[in-house]
Structure 1
Amino acid sequence: MSRHSRTSEDRGPNRGGNNEHSYSGIKRKRDTQAEIENMSDNTHKRANFSAVTQNGLNRNLNILNLKPAATKKLVIKNLKSEPKLPDDYREQTWDKLKSAVLDIQKSKPNCYSLEELYQAVENMCNHKMANTLYNNLRLLTESHVRDNIEQFLAESMDRFLFLKKMNDTWQNHCHQMIMIRSIFLYLDRTYVLQTPHIHSIWEMGLELFRQYILQYTLVQTRIVDGLLMLIEKERQGDAVDRTLLKSLLRMLTDLQIYDQAFEQKFLVATERLYASEGQRLMQEMEIPEYLSHVDKRILEENERVLHYLDSGTKYQLIHNIEKQLLSEHVNNILQKGLDGLLEGNRLADLSLLYVLFGRVKNGHSELCVSFNAYIKKRGRTIVIDPEKDKEMVQELLDFKDTMDNVVANCFNKNEKFSNSLKEAFEYYINQRANKPAELIAKFVDSKLRAGNKEATEEELERLLDKIMVLFRFIHGKDVFEAFYKKDLAKRLLVGKSASVDAEKSMLSKLKQECGGGFTSKLEGMFKDMELSKDIVVAFKHYVGNSNNDLSSLEMTVHILTMGYWPTYTPMEVNIPENMVQLQEVFNKFYLSKHSGRKLQWQPTLGYCVLKARFKSGRKELVVSLFQSLVLLLFNLSDELTFDDIKTATNIEDGELKRTLQSLACGKARVLNKTPRGRDIEILDKFNFNNEFVNKLYRIKINQIQMKETTEEQKATEERVYQDRQYQIDAAIVRIMKMRKTLSHNLLISELYLQLKFPVKPADLKKRIESLIDRDYMERDKDNPNQYNYVA
């Protein structure tokens, strides 16, 4: 302790001791010299007063009273000589002080007043007896401390009683030293301050207590073992006397032996305890339960630091817990529990796992790696299994929402986890080439159809945003475009689009993500639909003004630019004469306004509204053109065979079977089939169902589609493949034109950088060979592994 700290104010015994005993009961004599100086500064306030000399005797001071106008002047007359002390003054005074100290140490009442004792100390100090007084006091204190400590050597008592008695001894010692210091305060503030290398009275008491605690190692060992025993009991859930723990640990701190006597043993015991506990509980507990236990242990140890341990112990203590309960088991915790927590969406447990792993070196990195591996494994099971194709996109969206929620709410929006999540999704969604892109396009189609009543416009918009997130991950974006364009064409032509705003919103999102080149054809389709509306209005006006008998039919035509729309296979069918005439009138009308163009009618995309009369009343049937051709035949005949219908309509067998199935075997059976059954056979017969009943006036009869139209799907995939070939050829020529000469490996590397879809090296090699055959490039004669551009 610095000498400066002893000059400030009377200090208490320690943080754990009782500070109630102070010097308030001692009315200390005023410091004579300071008092006289204060008096000389304030002579204008007083006429006369008494001063106290150093030997404690009262002397009268003569004050010169001057005239009011003159300055007052103080003259102090000192004694020419001090009185002589009795020969036995030192012995008598010390005996008096010794008696008082012994009474304090024995907790007996003192026959002398504190003021008298204080005055005796002051007198001895002023007569150069301070050194003897200090040494005598030290010897007396040392004897008392030694006797107090030695009593613990002989006693073999219960450890708790031992600790309690030691605490009482320590508290008594602190209380006694406060009282003793109160008496010897003048000695402490004069002699001790002026003499280097000696302790203050309070520090002397601490030093002596410390000396004998260290000297008698048995006492020290029993204190420390007893403290460790109490802490271990508390860790096991027993209630202990925390006040006793706090007091004794503060004693060790004040005696400056906390580190060497207690802390190291405590930390070793802690490490041993938690090492054993960690091994045992990892085998016995489930991971959520184990994490909760670890968190509880950390809180408990923090409370111990708060209540009775020294704050300097906290770092090493908590580090030991983290090492033994977490660091040593990071891999086991992740392997045993992370997948289950993520599968069960255990957000609270995941949050705790993230917090606890944040305490471990590289804990978050290890967690991130395992999180990434889980996403790849779980996502791959969704994508790879063909049986889950119908639910794939919805499962992917739900899975992405769940993982996003985990990162946001459990992993504190950690950027490392967000990036890992994106990388994992991009990895597994492309494990199955082209199929996810196709299914995402079909999923969008199902949500944008008019029959989709599941969501409001706002919900649909949010869903489209989520779909765009999946779209960013897929590599085969051209596959998505091909299927999306095919489905968009059907929605626009058949009028099945749920909302024009939703369609344009999706188009805008695609344009923002992939650029104008990606959506140029899709935008062209919308332009064609807008132009077709104007053309139809003009055509109706044209028909109304012409002298023909076609006003009973109403026709709507969509003029499609061939480059924008999917390629449809032309199909020649037999159309009723009045419909053919109307087509010819439209041809004449359109070509008169747009010379040089050629119109090609697509019956597969047409639909009609037929008026039908049943026994129950009139109905309107909304049907495809093929369905219309079949139904119109029954105006001329009551019963027809499959061959009769085929001959009359010229519809291809597969398409005709699906058409008849929709009319005779679906929900709205406007035809009867003989024999009954769901499948259409060549020998089947059909007749008009006059008994047909439906509560609706306008009834839509959907055409039966092939299971995901296998032929159409293959055709779409083939178009994608052809488009990719053109893109590969263009990229090769572009690179060779710029480089002139390039090795095979460098050319392949450049192609991987430029192409935006997945491609195999074998496919690239085929395209290179094709370009060589077509003389766009050639092999170097001296180096067959190098290519030259042919200008």
Structure 2
Amino acid sequence: MSLPTKRSTCSAASTDSSLSSPPMKKSKNGLHAPSSQPNASMDEDPAPSAAANLSRKKATLPHPTKKLVIKLNKAKPSLPTNFEDTTWENLQSAIRAIFLKQPFPFDLERLYQYDVPEYLKHVEGRLHEENERCLLYIDASTRKPLISAVEKQLLERHIHAVLDKGFTPLMDGRRTEDLQRMYTLFSRVSALESLRQALSSYIRKTGQKIVMDEEKDKDMVQSLLDFKASLDIVWEESFCKNESFGNTIKDSFEHLINLRQNRPAELIAKFLDEKLRAGNKGTSEEELESTLEKVLVLFRFIQGKDVFEAFYKKDLAKRLLLGKSASIDAEKSMISKLKTECGSQFTNKLEGMFKDIELSKEINESFKQSSQARTKLPSGIEMSVHVLTTGYWPTYPHMDVKLPHELNVYQDIFKEFYLSKYSGRRLMWQNSLGHCVLKAGFSKGKKELAVSLFQAVVLMLFNDAMKLSFEDIKDSTGIEDKELRRTLQSLACGKVRVLQKYPKGRDVQDGDEFDFNDTFTAPLYRIKVNAIQMKETVEENTSTTERVFQDRQYQIDAAIVRIMKTRKVLSHTLLITELFQQLKFPIKPADLKKRIESLIDREYLERDKSNPQIYNYLA
């Protein structure tokens, strides 16, 4: 192969004054020949005329025109250093690449000296230009290999570099237009799989920061909802609703939301409680319904749905019993959505809670119209009773309290009426869930106080006494020590101080004395006295989780017996595999082995005598 050699050329310009001629001059009537006499004139030709003595006119010479002077710049134009050598070297490399059929080497640092969005625009422009050139100047058969060569050189060789440098900033900035350009260009070179993997990696990495940050647990659900909404927008606008990309988003979300076992399920239940609780000002029913739909998407990704059910049921019970629900229609709508997702067995207890509330309303109406209520009830007291079915509602600790005589009479009369209507049942009063409205007289007017049952019992003691000590109140009410301290703290140390404590202080100590605050004032007629709520301690959450695990053990035992009853004989490996397929919550193989051992001890199963890895079902 021979390469062209570099030649040096030069050019010279010479001028000869003897050969130069003066320029032609232009007049009004035409061109005039050059003349050494500037004042010379030319006579016009006579025109034919009837008159013989017409005077001849002299032609006037034009004014001399300005000369155009061009000055040559004697300085040579400046070129970059080693311009000729560099250009010649690039030309040789290009020719050598053509002869050897090898790609021309690129400097990647120079290729990515600007950011990825600009580079993608550059590639898009180059492809458009080549396509236009093919249509206008080149044979049609050349178009396909030429465009393919451009795609290979500008895109296919740099897929990973483009993704590594530019994908995360584009996703963080929600730059849907640039992401759509990337998706379109990558589809030309069959690189969508690389883009899909980059999307999966981005979701898992970003989502892990949200889920694993324990300090921001309070905002976790809202952050996940915002993150999911932004991904849906990118999927619709940039990735053309590609089904594979949609499945990638779902799989990645399911992975990240279950990184912390049980905790996300608990937080989603509490988030729903916050939205469904009364007091969310400025939230319309349409916005609430939209929020429920979005939360339901996160719920689908949760593996431990029984944990969600336990916490959701506990919060729902508080909303129903205390009348704190923002909308009964919204509550029923959420139950209906959960039923559609998980089946009737999942929502059976939740639906039973609503039935109890509705049935209690009918029972109270019947009680008010009964003969016992009309003849035996003390005057001045109205009482409404919720009758709860034990299996539907969360378990509450029984707390004794010495009720005032009027309330005891009311309870006895209602119990007599209920048992006469529903024989064979047993009523057990849950005093910790009761709440009352008391009428109180102060020096500046009467007020209504919305209080808990324990607060009402304490306040009614001051109808007969001006000042009482902590020990006196404890003996008179029979309320448990910690509960009584919280109750007195809410009445004497909170925002609404109906009682006065001596000595002053935020905590209730032994020996403290209390009296009725007759000078209490407030702008509203009805005042809510908030109880000092116990923050959910680690022990309480642990007890709820333990109850969930206890229920799981029953489900595991039932699944093992169901499988073995069908198969009769099964190996340990196959039994574990079928259990993983049937159980809908995460479980470890070690826990399954413990349940199998428990069933063997209770003689539901036995190990095969010849092979201990095989189990036999005992009828």
The structure whose residues are more often helix, as a share, is 1
C-alpha distance in 1 between matches for 2:493 and 2:179? 54
- The AA in structure 1 aligned to 2:520 is F
**C-alpha displacement at 1:540, in angstroms?**
1.6
**C-alpha displacement at 1:309, in angstroms?**
4.6
Which of these residues, 741, 749, 754, is aligned with residue 582 of structure 2?
754
C-alpha distance in 1 between matches for 2:97 and 2:535? 71
Structure 1 SS opposite 2:376: coil
Are the counterparts in 1 of residues 183 and 239 from structure 2 also a CA contact under 8 Å? yes
Q: In the alignment, which residue of structure 1 is the partner of 2:164? A: 335
Cα distance change of structure 1 residues 315 and 499 upon mapping to structure 2, 3 Å threshold: same
- The AA in structure 1 aligned to 2:188 is R
Cα distance change of structure 1 residues 549 and 350 upon mapping to structure 2, 3 Å threshold: same
C-alpha distance in 1 between matches for 2:120 and 2:97? 22
**C-alpha displacement at 1:360, in angstroms?**
1.9
**C-alpha displacement at 1:677, in angstroms?**
3.9
Q: In the alignment, which residue of structure 1 is the partner of 2:353? A: 525
Residue 364 (structure 1) aligned with residue 211 (structure 2): no
C-alpha distance in 1 between matches for 2:151 and 2:462? 85
C-alpha distance in 1 between matches for 2:102 and 2:110? 13
**C-alpha displacement at 1:725, in angstroms?**
0.5
Cα distance change of structure 1 residues 584 and 710 upon mapping to structure 2, 3 Å threshold: farther
Q: In the alignment, which residue of structure 1 is the partner of 2:155? A: 326
1:249-260 alignment, distance < 5 Å: none
Residue 288 (structure 1) aligned with residue 117 (structure 2): yes
Cα distance change of structure 1 residues 358 and 370 upon mapping to structure 2, 3 Å threshold: same
Cα distance change of structure 1 residues 286 and 645 upon mapping to structure 2, 3 Å threshold: farther
Q: In the alignment, which residue of structure 2 is the partner of 1:624? A: 452
- The AA in structure 2 aligned to 1:295 is E
**C-alpha displacement at 1:545, in angstroms?**
5.4
1:135-174 alignment, distance < 5 Å: none
C-alpha distance in 1 between matches for 2:272 and 2:393? 18
> Which shifted more, 725-734 or 447-456?
447-456
Structure 2 SS opposite 1:323: helix
Cα distance change of structure 1 residues 278 and 777 upon mapping to structure 2, 3 Å threshold: same
C-alpha distance in 1 between matches for 2:121 and 2:210? 32
C-alpha distance in 1 between matches for 2:378 and 2:572? 66
Which of these residues, 678, 683, 689, is aligned with residue 506 of structure 2?
678
Cα distance change of structure 1 residues 330 and 553 upon mapping to structure 2, 3 Å threshold: same
Residue 348 (structure 1) aligned with residue 174 (structure 2): no
1:11-160 alignment, distance < 5 Å: none
- The AA in structure 2 aligned to 1:280 is R
Are the counterparts in 1 of residues 569 and 615 from structure 2 also a CA contact under 8 Å? yes
1:585-600 alignment, distance < 5 Å: 585-600=413-428
Q: What percentage of aligned pairs have identical amino acids?
A: 60
- The AA in structure 1 aligned to 2:296 is M
Q: Which runs of 5+ in 2 are unaligned?
A: 1-8, 12-86, 88-93
Are the counterparts in 1 of residues 367 and 373 from structure 2 also a CA contact under 8 Å? no
Cα distance change of structure 1 residues 451 and 709 upon mapping to structure 2, 3 Å threshold: farther
Which of these residues, 508, 517, 520, is aligned with residue 692 of structure 1?
520
Which of these residues, 360, 363, 366, is aligned with residue 538 of structure 1?
366
1:390-789 alignment, distance < 5 Å: 390-542=218-370, 546-548=374-376, 550-789=378-617
Structure 2 SS opposite 1:620: strand
> Which shifted more, 611-620 or 768-777?
611-620
Are the counterparts in 2 of residues 274 and 324 from structure 1 also a CA contact under 8 Å? no
**C-alpha displacement at 1:549, in angstroms?**
5.3
Structure 1 vs Structure 2 CA RMSD: 2.6
> Which shifted more, 318-327 or 490-499?
318-327
Are the counterparts in 1 of residues 277 and 325 from structure 2 also a CA contact under 8 Å? yes
Residue deviations 1:262-303 (CA, integer Å, cap 9, x gap): xx979959x999863654132x22223332333233333334
**C-alpha displacement at 1:654, in angstroms?**
2.5
C-alpha distance in 1 between matches for 2:268 and 2:441? 43
C-alpha distance in 2 between matches for 1:729 and 1:538? 44
Are the counterparts in 2 of residues 607 and 625 from structure 1 also a CA contact under 8 Å? yes
C-alpha distance in 1 between matches for 2:165 and 2:583? 42
C-alpha distance in 2 between matches for 1:307 and 1:273? 26
Cα distance change of structure 1 residues 640 and 322 upon mapping to structure 2, 3 Å threshold: farther
C-alpha distance in 1 between matches for 2:297 and 2:211? 16
Are the counterparts in 1 of residues 373 and 413 from structure 2 also a CA contact under 8 Å? no
**C-alpha displacement at 1:714, in angstroms?**
2.7
Residue deviations 1:26-65 (CA, integer Å, cap 9, x gap): xxxxxxxxxxxxxxxxxxxxxxxxxxxxxxxxxxxxxxxx
Cα distance change of structure 1 residues 712 and 498 upon mapping to structure 2, 3 Å threshold: same
Residue deviations 1:604-654 (CA, integer Å, cap 9, x gap): 110000111223321111111112122222323333333333222222233
C-alpha distance in 2 between matches for 1:272 and 1:786? 64
Q: In the alignment, which residue of structure 2 is the partner of 1:209? A: none
Are the counterparts in 2 of residues 267 and 317 from structure 1 also a CA contact under 8 Å? no
- The AA in structure 1 aligned to 2:281 is K
Residue deviations 1:634-681 (CA, integer Å, cap 9, x gap): 323333333333222222233223222322333222223344443333
- The AA in structure 2 aligned to 1:611 is K
Cα distance change of structure 1 residues 555 and 345 upon mapping to structure 2, 3 Å threshold: same
Residue deviations 1:97-156 (CA, integer Å, cap 9, x gap): xxxxxxxxxxxxxxxxxxxxxxxxxxxxxxxxxxxxxxxxxxxxxxxxxxxxxxxxxxx8
Structure 2 SS opposite 1:600: coil
Residue deviations 1:544-586 (CA, integer Å, cap 9, x gap): 7543351211100001111111111111111111111110011
Residue deviations 1:318-376 (CA, integer Å, cap 9, x gap): 33332222222211221222122112212222122212212222x11101011011111
Structure 1 SS opposite 2:400: coil
Cα distance change of structure 1 residues 587 and 748 upon mapping to structure 2, 3 Å threshold: same
Structure 2 SS opposite 1:398: helix
Are the counterparts in 2 of residues 267 and 316 from structure 1 also a CA contact under 8 Å? no
C-alpha distance in 2 between matches for 1:758 and 1:553? 52
C-alpha distance in 1 between matches for 2:165 and 2:126? 21
Cα distance change of structure 1 residues 721 and 272 upon mapping to structure 2, 3 Å threshold: same
C-alpha distance in 2 between matches for 1:499 and 1:583? 30
C-alpha distance in 2 between matches for 1:626 and 1:710? 25
C-alpha distance in 1 between matches for 2:356 and 2:333? 18
- The AA in structure 2 aligned to 1:380 is Q
C-alpha distance in 2 between matches for 1:711 and 1:635? 38
C-alpha distance in 2 between matches for 1:684 and 1:266? 100
Are the counterparts in 2 of residues 278 and 324 from structure 1 also a CA contact under 8 Å? no
Are the counterparts in 2 of residues 777 and 788 from structure 1 also a CA contact under 8 Å? yes
Larger Rg: 1
C-alpha distance in 2 between matches for 1:350 and 1:497? 43
Structure 2 SS opposite 1:391: helix
Are the counterparts in 2 of residues 347 and 410 from structure 1 also a CA contact under 8 Å? yes
**C-alpha displacement at 1:741, in angstroms?**
1.5
Cα distance change of structure 1 residues 331 and 542 upon mapping to structure 2, 3 Å threshold: same
**C-alpha displacement at 1:311, in angstroms?**
4.2
Are the counterparts in 2 of residues 275 and 324 from structure 1 also a CA contact under 8 Å? no
Q: In the alignment, which residue of structure 1 is the partner of 2:5? A: none
C-alpha distance in 1 between matches for 2:490 and 2:114? 60
C-alpha distance in 2 between matches for 1:299 and 1:689? 85
Cα distance change of structure 1 residues 636 and 560 upon mapping to structure 2, 3 Å threshold: same
